[in-house]
Amino acid sequence: MEEVFRGIWVIAYRDLLRFVQERTRAISSFAMPLLFLVIFGAGFNRVIGTMAPGVDFIQFIYPGIIAMTVLMGSLMSGLSVVWDREFGFLREVLVAPMSRAGIVLGKTAGTAVIALGQGFIMLILAPIVGVQLSPMLVVKLIPLLIIISVSLSGLGILVASRMRSQQGFQMLIQIIIMPLVFMSGVFFPVNNVPTWLEVASKINPLTYGVDAIRQVFLGVGSASAGGGYAIGVTVFGHTMSVLEDALVVVVLGAVLMTAAIVAFSKQE
Amino acid sequence: MDMIEIEGLSKKFGKLVAVDNISFRVPRGEIFGFLGPNGAGKTTTINILCTLLKPTGGRASVNGYDVIKERRKVQRSIGLVFQDPTLDDYLTADQNLRFHAYAYGVPASVRETRMQELMELVELQDRRKNKVSTYSGGMKRRLEIARGLLHHPSVLFLDEPTLGLDPQTRRRIWEHVLTLRQQEDLTIFLTTHYMDEAEHCERIAIIDNGRIIALDTPDNLKDALGGDLVTLEARDSQGAIAELKERYNISPEINDGMVTFSVPHGDTFLPEFVRGFHSGLISINVRRPTLDDVFLKLTGHAIRDQEVGMMDQMRMMMRSH
Ligand SMILES: Nc1ncnc2c1ncn2[C@@H]1O[C@H](COP(=O)(O)OP(=O)(O)OP(=O)(O)O)[C@@H](O)[C@H]1O
Ligand SMILES: [Mg+2]
């Protein structure tokens, strides 16, 4: 057990240390989500107008962008594994007397801290884009962001265990992740789209993570509010609650994390 | 019990047999050299011994621990300097060392003093706060050696520790290695293709195509060639061969018009030989055989061409970044 804990903190420590030292990466990782918010917020708000009674487009998309920020940030766990492999440092890690599970969890912890940091920077901007924040809201948000982060970090490492090059990893991310993100209800409510898109979105577990965060922002009951423009996710006529959404993400996270640890331990 | 015990060890990558049923032992405290051309299986063997690769056959143990069943204990027993750099370039030397100390659970009470001592040993004490990306290739190697020793391993693996370095740096790295050997009860397992470096080893194994073709002290290996090497050029090569056969019962070889053979004592043989030689001597040369000669004799090919192989050139480029 000691080997697991040592692995977690040592790996997380080094990833964070390195993040702080690489200023350009640190800055750009915070700039990206900002850009998204500004472009989507300013660009679409006028055109689209209200999504549901009392919810305009920026209020709709803002929680989605927070979720997306954490999602994308968490995938960096995989990129950092591929980096370390390419530049040799992974061998230093793999021959150290630490458990492989600890290493995976450490990468996850380090990445989650950074991804959550990115998420929080976005949160600070809430008043500027006209979204109300309360301490209670932030408290509810943290566990949701953590489980989303852990799940996606697991996915990143799972993919990275098979990849030998950065290019390969980035390509795979584009093929798998981009569609997942775009079909997760970040940019549109998943109930009022063509059936194929609706089915795809509802199969996509990320949809539930995004929905949970949006519900926390827009308040209890928002899920079923809004008549024709229902923004909550309904499955077989049942509208998902925050807890049900969270459960889906937890199950997803457990599966991805286990798979990541198994794949990472098997690699040579 | 020996520090490293290998029995019938094999590693296949698909159809390719990288290591082919090798067996040997390295006693505690020895400097053991692994000598072989590109692709001989040296790195693969080290990767198995350090638990990075699983063998496809046979068994191996380090410090008495099985490399498959007792991985953690093996990992605690070994220090490693890989063929390709494994430092984090974005961190400073100290940060790299500290990471290593944390990862191996080196107690905080001894960590800083050990770091100080080792950085002095490899003469990098004034560069400790610099990022590794600002280090030269030789400095990176020395830092890796210091790092590999930080957790007081029983055996240090050095995979081509001096590849691509200039002669002064190579000499300095060897000085460090030999100092270590004197100071501590440390076993050193290294691979090299520099013959002069192999001479520093107490015993060497020559490996070619995944198989060990000879294992002994450098002197014994050279003696096994039959003493000193004589190379002569004569106006009548065939006559010279006949003469050697008749007078000394020697069957020489001809390489590029040069007649070559071995004699037990070249220094006493030469004067007597020259006096009685009839086939028009142009030049003659006597020398102690080198490990190159041993290698050539055993395998029929030179260990590595004078110029450095493609892979090595690429590695040097990588390393100088
Ligand atoms: N991961 C791998 N997958 C497939 N083949 C491999 C792998 N690693 C090594 N090989 C092959 O195994 C053989 C032995 O390689 P190895 O790296 O052990 O040689 P080496 O003696 O260290 O050579 P060098 O002097 O170039 O470092 C080579 O033919 C190599 O191509
Ligand atoms: Mg090698």
pTM here is: 0.85
**Contact state of A95 with B91 under an 8 Å Cβ cutoff:** no
CA–centroid distance, B43 to ligand 1, in Å, is 7
- Nearest ligand 1 atom, CA B44: 18
Regarding the beta carbon of B83 and ligand 1, being less than 6 Å apart is answered yes
> DSSP label at B150?
T
Question: Are the Cβ atoms of B91 and A14 closer than 8 angstroms?
Answer: yes
Query: Please, what are the domains in chain B?
Result: 2-217+303-320 (3.40.50.300), 226-288 (3.30.70)
Out of A79-93, A213-227, B260-274, pick the least confident.
A213-227
Query: In this structure, which residue's CA is closest to atom 7 in ligand 1?
Result: B13
Closest-CA distance, A113 to chain B, in angstroms, reads 19
Q: Residue B52: its chain A contacts at CB < 8 A?
A: 91, 94-95, 268
pLDDT at B4: 96
Q: What's the B288 CA to ligand 2 centre distance in angstroms?
A: 29
Query: Sorting pLDDT into bands at 50, 70 and 90, what band is B153?
Result: very high
pLDDT tens for each residue of B24-54: 999 999 999 999 888 899 999 999 999 999 9
Percent of chain A at pLDDT > 70 equals 90
3-state SS, one letter per residue, for chain A: CHHHHHHHHHHHHHHHHHHHHCHHHHHHHHHHHHHHHHHHHHHHHHHHCEEECCEEHHHHHHHHHHHHHHHHHHCHHHHHHHHHHHCCHHHHHHCCCCCHHHHHHHHHHHHHHHHHHHHHHHHHCCCCCCCCCCHHHHHHHHHHHHHHHHHHHHHHHHHHCCCCCHHHHHHHHHHHHHHHHHCCCCCCCCCCCCHHHHHHHHHCCHHHHHHHHHHHHHCCCCCCCCHHHCCCCEECCEECCHHHHHHHHHHHHHHHHHHHHHHHHHCC
- Among A5-14, A104-113, B9-18, B278-287, whose mean pLDDT is lowest? B278-287
B40 CB less than 6 Å from ligand 1? yes
Contact call for B52 and A92, based on CB within 8 A: no
User: What pLDDT sits at residue B159?
Assistant: 94
> Is there a contact between A96 and B103 if contact means CB atoms under 8 Å apart?
yes
Q: Is the pLDDT assigned to residue B95 strictly greater than 60?
A: yes
Please report residues of B whose CB lies closer than 8 A to that of A10. 99, 102-103
Domain boundaries, chain A: 2-183+250-265
Ligand 1 centroid distance, CA of A265 (Å):
22
